[in-house]
Amino acid sequence: MSLRAPAKIYMLLQRFLIRLLTMVVTLFGVAVVVFVVIRVAPGDPIAMMLPPGATDADIARLRTLYGLDKTVVQQFFIWLAGVVRGDFGTSISLRQDVLGLVFNRLPATLELAVVALAMAIVLGGTTAVLGARERGTMVETGIDIVSGAALSIPDFLWGLVLILLFGVLVPIFDISGRVSPQLDLPFVTQFYLFESILRLRLDLTFDLLKHMLMPAVALALPLAAIISQLLKQSLKEVLDLDYVVLARVKGFSETQVILREALRNAALPTLTLVGVQFTFLIGGTVIVERLFSYEGLGNMAIDAVINRDLPLIQGIVLVFALLFVLINLTVDMMYALLNPRLRHG
Amino acid sequence: MDEGRVSRHRAGAKLWLAGGWLLLALLAAILAPLVAPQDPLAQDLMLERLPPFWIDGAEPGYWLGTDSLGRDLLSRLIFGGRIAFIVAFAAASTACLVGSALGLVAGYFGGWADRVISRIVDVWMAFPPVLFAILLVAVLGTGLSSVVLAIAIIDWTRFCRVIRAEAMGQSRMDYVENARIAGYGRVGIMLREVLPNVVPSIVALLSLEMGIAIIVEAILSFVNLSISTDDPTWGGIIAEGRLSIHQAWWVLVFPLVTLILTVLSFSQFGEALKTRFDPVLW
Amino acid sequence: MNTCLDIAKLSAVLPNGQRVLRSVSLTVQPGEVRALVGESGAGKTMIGKAVLGVLPSSVRIVEGDMRLEGEDLGKLDPKARRTLIGARTALIPQDPLTALNPSRRIGPQMTDRLVRILGWSGEKADKRVRQLLDEVQIRDPERVLRCYPHELSGGMRQRVLIAGAFVAEPRLIVADEPTTALDVTVQKQILRLIAQLQREHGTAILFVTHDLGVVAKISQKVSVLYAGKVVEEADTAALFSAPQHPYTRALMAATPRYTDPFASLKPVDEAVLAGLAAEIASADKAWRRPHG
């Protein structure tokens, strides 16, 4: 029987708070792990910063400046206290505020990830519906084979394949950078794609998409394959249920039956998985951005590692982790909201 | 069942195709000094960027052409396979051992063990894996053992999550209950009753993980952080190929095809083995 | 007047060649209730599904034809067939718990056929649905129409489904064991409701059941099915007073009586089944010769 409205809200709120708590614990764990891992590093970041003729006194001064003369535990809590205040420290290699650097690059990565996610959902959803409608035919077998291959080949390799196909063989898309360098950019935020649409500068939107398409497809293909397989499977299960048979008797066509009766119920189990997979997709941006010289957070992260820029690495990893747990939280809440059983008691 | 027969039939074909390619690549890697037509490190500026054999200008003995330093591509691929397979076997089995053991314990015992292990998995899942691997190798220093360790550290969770879920399902089965009533110890039941039933999944994951390990190694080589710059690795060749893509496409195409075939084979081989082992489908 | 449903020599096979329907012939006249009775696995549900064009994809019709009010269903293209079936037939499903979409409210689930297939206005459809809900004695249609299925009891859901079956004034309803999944107390009410609506609307029903007690209460004609074969066909009254086929008699003997609930239940007589099996085997042999 259904609960009364306050009880429902209470239940959702309780679920939300528990999730929030585990989220904080997870983030704390990430901070500890990354801090420990980095402090084990044998190379001395300070020595790398200074010219070869620097004196020991110079090195000692800088060590004090960056707080590296304290114990690891002290350093951790000093850093953590800063993080809680929103101060992630100063990048050693770029000599700028870490948070500022991260916020400067994060929008590029977010835009890429969201475009890739949208592509994966559209591609995966369409093929799943098509495969379910044509179940048992050659069409379904074809979809199975293609999605099986798309799933097994990771984004890094898809990126290389796309570079070969559309960068060299048929050079129709840009395979390097985020936007053509000769263009004048009127943007005030770093969300170039979003802002170009708002400003109705569709020439810029087009140029941005031309750059974004290849890395986005590379990221989207494995996820599209997973969505396609899972959704098709649960669609096929739902299509044998009585209410779907009833809809067929009512006179609805198979496509209508799938879209109106089956899709929503079949999508629910897929949704949870898409959340986890979306975090994998974002994880994949690190190398795909590198591959396409796309100026996002992941590309900066690799530079930070190569330059042993400890504060910057910590900041970037923590932002990625925050992004991941937020996505999981969102998916969990969406699941609770969309599931009629949970929604109504 | 009719459908079962079809899927088993397909699994058989997959097993042979994927297994065949893996065997070929493995044999070539093991016998590299015997089968490689050239010295993979020998540079010759007279022979730089030779095309593969079917294109005009190719030299006999350099079947797949040469790179920008005149090194034979086929020989480099064959020798690169050595590192790829060593990394695949070492990293995947380490990850498998750690992850499956923890997953089995968490899934079978539940309670505090499960809570602690699951929290650690949560933390691990919040790291972007590629970035984590790059960071680890940067910290541990380049070299074969660092790469193997880094891959095992980032990917043990894959085994842990799957095996935990399966062990949890198994531990609710009646036969586990019966064994307990019969007076067997908990660890004994876990090893004797639960473990054999999750072996098909472990085998499939192990095969899949080998493919993934090869990719991660290639990515690490690609950002110049893997074994060493001298020894040929698939990722290293790809990095060179990416740079000279407009002058010599074959330097990118051949390692890429090799990688794709190997990764596909590992995942399909694992799937097929699982279908083969699965007592329910038989 | 046209025969409402005319099935002639219908045969269907599984992928392995086994026949699940064996030259089934039966008719349903307008306004008549024909019961289709048999044990589980006898193929009675299969006949209903064949008429409605919702057979599982593994079952293939290999011979025979079905006419719905004179229209040969086998001769229509799939789209026209679906439209015809949608306009003239309806289904009362077996399990009310799974026959309503859990993520859609009751209201749209009841009106969608009227609006989207038959082209009614939303207002007219809404009015019609309320009228039917009243006929199935649902007292608070406002609330029910806004509910999700899981907020209603099994009996309420079956009432909703019955109302939904009659809402578009179909000529033929296939009722597929509509009371089997319900509590015994609710069973009787639902059966009475179906009988009452059937009389008032004059709808023909093909009533699939395994329960001879139900047959006696609701139908005018009966076809007894065994292993996909009609073994006896008669007026309901005649069948009960003088069953002709040994299988029918055995089935009756195996049915518990309300008058004598403690009498020991007999399984269907084995000698009868053996005779039937031999009969069917020879019929199959003869059938396979021309059909390969």
Chains near C, with 3+ CB pairs < 8 A?
A: A
> B154 or C274: which carries more pLDDT confidence?
B154
State the smallest CA–CA distance between residue A116 and chain C in angstroms: 29
Coil, strand, or helix at residue C173? strand
pLDDT band at B45; cut points 50, 70, 90: confident
Residue in chain A closest to C172 (alpha carbons) equals A249
Range with lowest mean pLDDT among B33-42, B133-142, B207-216, C161-170: B33-42
Range with lowest mean pLDDT among A187-191, B220-224, B253-257, C276-280: C276-280
Which chain B residues are closer than 8 Å to A26 by Cβ?
119, 122-123, 126
Residue in chain A closest to B251 (alpha carbons) equals A164
C-alpha distances in angstroms, A113 versus A41, A213, A256, B247, C150? 31, 11, 31, 32, 38
Which chain C residues are closer than 8 Å to A246 by Cβ?
91, 93, 99, 161
> Which pLDDT tens digit goes with each residue over A287-296?
999 999 999 9
pTM: 0.83
Residue in chain A closest to C168 (alpha carbons) equals A250
Which residue among A161, A279, A305 sits closest to B138, beta carbon to beta carbon?
Answer: A305
Which chain A residues are closer than 8 Å to B253 by Cβ?
164
Which residue among C103, C116, C150 sits closest to A264, beta carbon to beta carbon?
Answer: C103
CB contact under 8 A, B245 and A163: yes
Which chain C residues are closer than 8 Å to A241 by Cβ?
98
Over chain C, what is the mean pLDDT?
A: 86
State the smallest CA–CA distance between residue A17 and chain B in angstroms: 17
Residue in chain B closest to A159 (alpha carbons) equals B256
Over chain B, what is the mean pLDDT?
A: 85
CB contact under 8 A, C94 and A242: yes
> Which pLDDT tens digit goes with each residue over B74-84?
888 999 999 99
How many beta-carbon contacts under 8 Å exist across A and C? 72
State the smallest CA–CA distance between residue B122 and chain A in angstroms: 6
DSSP calls for B174-222: HHHHHHHHTT--HHHHIIIIIHHHHHHHHHHHHHHHHHHHHHHHHHHHH
Which chain C residues are closer than 8 Å to A135 by Cβ?
57
Interface test with A, best of B130, B226, B254 (most A CBs within 10 A): B130
Helix axes A202-238, A155-162, angle to 10 degrees: 130
Residue in chain A closest to C166 (alpha carbons) equals A250
pLDDT band at C256; cut points 50, 70, 90: low
C-alpha distances in angstroms, A166 versus B144, B147, C266? 34, 32, 76
pLDDT band at A139; cut points 50, 70, 90: very high
pLDDT for A159: 94
Structure-derived torsion over alpha carbons of residues B35, B41, B44, B45, reported in degrees to the nearest 10: 130
pLDDT band at C39; cut points 50, 70, 90: confident
Which residue among C82, C94, C148 sits closest to A251, beta carbon to beta carbon?
Answer: C82
The first and second tokens of residue A170, run together, are 């048929």
> B231 or B127: which carries more pLDDT confidence?
B127
pLDDT at B282 over 50: no
CB contact under 8 A, B263 and A152: yes
Which chain A residues are closer than 8 Å to C57 by Cβ?
135-136
CB contact under 8 A, C82 and A2: no
Homologous superfamily of domain range C5-100+171-286: P-loop containing nucleotide triphosphate hydrolases (3.40.50.300)
The first and second tokens of residue A196, run together, are 């170009």
Interface test with B, best of A26, A135, A153, A160 (most B CBs within 10 A): A160
Distance, CA of A70 to chain centre: 35
pLDDT at B49 over 80: no
pLDDT band at A47; cut points 50, 70, 90: low
Contact between residue A316 and residue A282 where contact means Cβ atoms under 8 Å apart: no
Which residue among C52, C101, C150 sits closest to A249, beta carbon to beta carbon?
Answer: C52
Over chain A, what is the mean pLDDT?
A: 86
CB atoms within 10 A of CB B176: 18
pLDDT at A16 over 80: yes
Residue in chain A closest to C55 (alpha carbons) equals A245
CB atoms within 10 A of CB C247: 25
AA letter at C117: I
> Which pLDDT tens digit goes with each residue over C85-114?
988 999 998 888 888 988 889 999 999 889
C98 interfacial to chain A (CB closer than 8 Å): yes
pLDDT at C60 over 50: yes
CA atoms within 13 A on the CB side of B138: 25
* Cβ-based neighbours of A214, under 8 Å, separated by 6 or more: A159, A162, A163, A166, A167, A173, A174, A175, A292
Domain ranges across chain C: 5-100+171-286
CB contact under 8 A, A154 and B215: yes
The first and second tokens of residue B230, run together, are 């001298």
CB contact under 8 A, A253 and C82: yes
Q: Which of A70-79, A332-341, B104-113 shows the highest mean pLDDT?
A: B104-113
Range with lowest mean pLDDT among A261-265, B202-206, B274-278, C241-245: B274-278
State the smallest CA–CA distance between residue A18 and chain C in angstroms: 27
CB contact under 8 A, B125 and A324: yes
Interface test with A, best of B135, B237, B251, B256 (most A CBs within 10 A): B135
**Interface predicted TM-score of the whole assembly (ipTM), two decimals:** 0.88
C80 interfacial to chain A (CB closer than 8 Å): no
Chain B window 235-264: which residues touch A at a Cβ cutoff of 8 Å? 238, 242, 245-246, 249, 252-253, 256, 259-260, 263-264
C-alpha distances in angstroms, A208 versus A196, A202, A214, B27? 9, 10, 11, 46
Using CA atoms, how far apart are residues B260 and B280, in angstroms rounded to an integer?
A: 31
- Range of B227's domain? 3-281
pLDDT for C263: 54
> Which pLDDT tens digit goes with each residue over C108-146?
999 988 998 888 999 999 999 999 999 999 989 999 999
pLDDT at B115 over 80: yes
AA letter at C136: V
Instruction: Give the residue-averaged pLDDT of C185-201.
Output: 91
Instruction: Give the residue-averaged pLDDT of A159-181.
Output: 86
Q: How many domains does chain B have?
A: 1
pLDDT at C255 over 80: no
CATH code for position B253: 1.10.3720.10
B120 interfacial to chain A (CB closer than 8 Å): yes
B194 interfacial to chain A (CB closer than 8 Å): no
Which residue among A136, A253, A261 sits closest to C57, beta carbon to beta carbon?
Answer: A136
pLDDT for A60: 78
**Closest among C113, C143, C169, C149 to A241, alpha carbons compared:** C149
Which chain B residues are closer than 8 Å to A42 by Cβ?
139, 141
Which chain A residues are closer than 8 Å to C119 by Cβ?
none
pLDDT for B7: 63
> C202 or A183: which carries more pLDDT confidence?
C202
Chains near B, with 3+ CB pairs < 8 A?
A: A
Which residue among A2, A249, A260 sits closest to C54, beta carbon to beta carbon?
Answer: A249
pLDDT for A132: 92
pLDDT for B183: 74
C169 interfacial to chain A (CB closer than 8 Å): no
Instruction: Give the residue-averaged pLDDT of B83-92.
Output: 94
Which chain A residues are closer than 8 Å to B222 by Cβ?
156, 287, 290-291
pLDDT for A53: 67
CB contact under 8 A, A290 and B222: yes
pLDDT band at C259; cut points 50, 70, 90: low
Using CA atoms, how far apart are residues C129 and C147, in angstroms rounded to an integer?
A: 15
> Which pLDDT tens digit goes with each residue over A210-235?
899 999 999 999 999 999 999 999 99
> Which pLDDT tens digit goes with each residue over A83-134?
888 888 888 788 888 899 999 999 999 999 999 999 999 999 999 999 999 8
Contact between residue A288 and residue A298 where contact means Cβ atoms under 8 Å apart: yes
Instruction: Give the residue-averaged pLDDT of A332-345.
Output: 68
* Cβ-based neighbours of B50, under 8 Å, separated by 6 or more: B57, B58, B59, B62, B65, B66, B70
C100 interfacial to chain A (CB closer than 8 Å): yes
Which chain A residues are closer than 8 Å to C99 by Cβ?
242-243, 246
* Cβ-based neighbours of B279, under 8 Å, separated by 6 or more: none
C79 interfacial to chain A (CB closer than 8 Å): yes
Residue with tokens 């038959």: C118
